[in-house]
Amino acid sequence: MPILSASLGITRYRVVEEIPDSLWREVPKRLQDNAFRDIDATTDERSWGWCNLDNMLDMDWAESPPEKGHYMCFSLRLDTRRIPPAVFKKHCMIALAQELTQAKAEGKAFISKDRRREIKDQVMLRLRARSLPIPAVFDAIWNTQTGRVLLLTTNSKVKTMFEDHFNLSFGLELEALTPFAMAVDMLGEEVVSRLENLEPTNFI
C-alpha cells in the first residue's frame, strides 16, 4: 500500500459542509455503490472508482472493512489504456493504405475526410481491444473525528477526479488545505485580509 511507502506525496482536505452522523453508517454502502468497474473485457479507455485499501481487486470489501479505528480507509483505483502515438500512427497508415487500394480497385481516387476519421476510430478501438489497462491506486484516509481527508497523491488530475467522485459518492464538497486555507482555518475569517496582504521576506 502507498500509505506504507518510505516516501509519499499527500494532499490534505477538509469537508466544507457539516457531516451528518448518519453518514458514517452509510459509507460502506456508498463505497460499494461507487466502486471501480473492471474494463479488461471492454474497449473503454478509462475507468475509476473506489476499492479496498488492502486489496485493489476487492470492490466488495470482503477481505476487510473500510472502518479502521476512527478512520475510513479506501482507495481510488484508476485503470487507463494507453496506446503509444507511434503505434497508433503506424496502424492508421496501414489501414489507410489498405482502404486506398480498395478504393482504387473500385475506381475511386481518394478517401473522404469522414471515412478517414472513421478508419482512425476503428483502428483505435482495435488497438484498445488488444491492450490491457494499466492500474493505478491512490489511498485515502478519512478521519471520522475531525472530518479531515488525506489523499496519497499530489497529481492535479487525480485530485480533481478524487474530489468529483467523493462529492458524487457522499454528497460532500472537499477543500484542499493549502497553507492559506489552513491559516484561515486556524486563525478565523477575520485574518483573511491580513493574509492576502502578506509579502514574502528575502532573508539573503
Please give the Cα distance from 88 to 146 (Å, whole number).
49
Q: How confident is the model at residue 1 (pLDDT cuts 50, 70, 90)?
A: low
For helices 156-170 and 21-33, angle between their N-to-C axes, nearest 10 degrees: 110
Q: Across the chain, what does the average pLDDT equal? A: 90
Higher pLDDT, 43 or 66: 66
Position 130 pLDDT exceeds 80: yes
pLDDT value at position 108? 82
Position 121 pLDDT exceeds 60: yes
Q: How confident is the model at residue 103 (pLDDT cuts 50, 70, 90)?
A: confident
Q: What is the average per-residue pLDDT within 19-34?
A: 95
Please give the Cα distance from 120 to 78 (Å, whole number).
25
Position 198 pLDDT exceeds 90: no
Q: Which residue has the cell 484561515?
A: 184
**Secondary structure percentages of the chain, helix, strand, coil, to 5:** 45, 20, 35
Q: Tell me which of 61-75, 79-93, 161-175, 184-198 is least confident.
A: 184-198
